[in-house]
Amino acid sequence: MAEAQTLPDANIWDAVWLNVNLATMNGPGYGEVPRGAIAVRDGRIAWLGLQDNLPSTAHAHVEYDGRGQWLTPGLIDCHTHVVYAGNRSDEFEDRLKGVAYEEIARRGGGILSTVRATRAASEVELLTASRARVASLLAEGVTTLEIKSGYGLDTDTEARMLRVARAIGATMPVRVATTFLGAHAIPIEYKGRADDYISLVCNEMLPALARERLIDAVDAFCENIAFTPQQTARVFDAATALKLPVKLHAEQLSDQGGARLVARYRGLSADHLEWLTDDGIQAMATAGTVAVLLPGAFYFLRETRLPPVQALRDAGVAIAVATDCNPGTSPMPSILTAMNMACTLFRMTPEESLAGTTRNAAAALGLSTEVGMLAVGKRADFALWTIDRPADLSYMLGFNPCTAVVNAGKLRAPRS
Ligand code: DI6
Ligand code: FE
């Protein structure tokens, strides 16, 4: 894309993109504005509409010719575990020989094997390993990224993970939202003493990390192989006391009533949800809790039970889609792949899958006023694509048509 013109003294807009088809994700469908234009100022969207309706007085310091490409909101990956050390392809091999994920976890593998590797890694090693995965996401137009802790399970390592997440946001062109997932697994030194570990999470880790401003939200893994609803509620009470929003890994492998629980705390999201039942759906609808679906984990675990997409639609629950990028159940740093899988595996429509990585993903992070759609006043985060129609983003598999990304009004190449 060429810089067309620079005006010397213009003081209205910093930049304008001309000859673009906008998928604003604002309004019905994709919120399409064909033959559109979009202008930014001070990192925000200052104007958008049909190019023919550009005000005749409009000036911009820089004009870009979009050459008929599609322009969408920057994509948002609202559920990831991209910060970790080590590698679990050995367990992938074991699972292919028939060993169950829960069995690997019981043997001290699974999450705990990543905990060992992460505890042993320095901050620099962790940052280097994580940056490569983040770069893969950014190349596909991601401009906002949630990153969870949860592979430290002690105060120092949880802090190190969250500092690395903050460093990613400070040094790479992406906005990072951090989530404290201290209640991800029971660390080896607390084996058989889950309640004591939860006390550590609530009384020591959470306040210390919140004081360092490392936590934007608090998550837990409510599951047979992890924490009970009662233990999860203790974590949520501690988070609520610190005025931190909550979310939950809920109903991934069994029905624990997790969605109902997180809705009771007006949680931002309930994530996974293959085993979600009707009362959980109703509770989420009432609370405005977003359903975050993670088809990558469903795929890698070769699950067969589908999340209740139609019932979520019927209840009016907003559905987001994310990668769950993690070394055990979703080694997949690709948001476009997650969007394709949301359609092929979960039977979502391409329109729902794009809403799931823009507008609804923003809601899942509590960032709806800032990002997730193209509208005047929102942060100027967007992506340009050489596609014929927005549905192509979900339709193609293993293909990246992203040509440029704009973060807070600043243009970058997808791989930069
Ligand atoms: N559910 C998941 O899918 C990931 N964490 C969680 O609570 C798995 C994390 C891992 O296996 O490392
Ligand atoms: Fe997860």
Instruction: Please indicate whether residue 110, judged by its CB atom, sits closer than 6 Å to ligand 1.
Output: yes
Instruction: Please indicate whether residue 324, judged by its CB atom, sits closer than 6 Å to ligand 1.
Output: yes
In sequence order, the β-bridge partners of residue 32 are 23
Mean pLDDT of 281-298: 98
- 300 within 8 A of 334, measured Cβ to Cβ: no
Mean pLDDT of the chain: 95
Tens-place pLDDT, residues 51-105 = 999 998 889 999 999 999 999 999 999 999 999 999 999 999 998 999 987 889 8
Mean pLDDT of 109-115: 93
pLDDT for 101 equals: 79
CA distance 328 to 103: 13
Which band of pLDDT confidence, cut at 50, 70 and 90, is reported for residue 3? very low
Residue labelled with tokens 């009384």: 203
Ligand 1 atom 2, closest CA: 329
Which band of pLDDT confidence, cut at 50, 70 and 90, is reported for residue 106? confident
pLDDT tops 60 at residue 197: yes
Tens-place pLDDT, residues 214-262 = 999 999 999 998 999 999 999 999 999 999 999 999 999 999 999 999 9
pLDDT for 305 equals: 98
Residue labelled with tokens 């809601």: 363
Q: Where are the domains of the chain?
A: 5-73+373-412, 75-364
CATH architecture of 5-73+373-412: Roll (2.30)
pLDDT tops 50 at residue 125: yes
- Could you tell which of 161, 274, 329 is best to mutate to test the pocket of ligand 1, judged by most ligand atoms within 8 Å of the CB? 329
Mean pLDDT of 121-145: 98
Atom of ligand 1 nearest to the CA of 226: 7
Could you tell me how far CA 227 lies from the centroid of its own chain? 23
The proportion of the chain whose per-residue pLDDT surpasses 90, expressed as a percent, equals 91
Residue 258 Cα to ligand 2 midpoint, Å, equals: 14
What's the whole-model pTM score?
0.96
- 161 within 8 A of 197, measured Cβ to Cβ: no
Could you tell me how far CA 253 lies from the centroid of its own chain? 21
pLDDT for 415 equals: 80
Ligand 1 atom 3, closest CA: 329
Instruction: Please indicate whether residue 143, judged by its CB atom, sits closer than 6 Å to ligand 1.
Output: no
Q: Which residues of 251-290 are buried (b: 16+ CB within 10 A; e: fewer)?
A: bbbeebbbbbbbbbbebbbbbbbbbbeeebbbbbbebebb
Q: Which two tokens stand for residue 361?
A: 């993903």
Atom of ligand 1 nearest to the CA of 301: 3
Tens-place pLDDT, residues 320-373 = 999 999 999 999 999 999 999 999 999 999 999 999 999 999 999 999 999 999
Mean pLDDT of 260-274: 98
Residue 3 Cα to ligand 1 midpoint, Å, equals: 44
Q: Which two tokens stand for residue 180?
A: 């404290």
The proportion of the chain whose per-residue pLDDT surpasses 70, expressed as a percent, equals 97
CA distance 31 to 155: 45
pLDDT tops 90 at residue 184: yes
Mean pLDDT of 38-46: 97
pLDDT for 146 equals: 99
pLDDT for 8 equals: 45
Q: Do β-strands 60-73 and 3-6 pair in parallel, antiparallel, or remain unpaired?
A: antiparallel
Residue 201 Cα to ligand 2 midpoint, Å, equals: 18
In sequence order, the β-bridge partners of residue 222 are 227
pLDDT for 107 equals: 82
Residues 6+ apart with CB under 8 A from 399: 336
Based on C-alpha coordinates, what's the Rg of the chain?
Answer: 21
CA neighbours closer than 13 Å in the CB half-sphere of residue 25: 30
CA distance 324 to 88: 15
| Angle ∠(387,322,392) on CA atoms, nearest 5 | 15
Instruction: Tell me the C-alpha to C-alpha distance, in Å, between residue 221 and each of 28, 225, 294.
Output: 35, 9, 14
pLDDT tops 70 at residue 2: no
CATH code of the region 75-364? 3.20.20.140
Q: Which residues of 305-330 are buried (b: 16+ CB within 10 A; e: fewer)?
A: eebbbebbeebebbbbbbbbbbbbbb
Which band of pLDDT confidence, cut at 50, 70 and 90, is reported for residue 413? confident
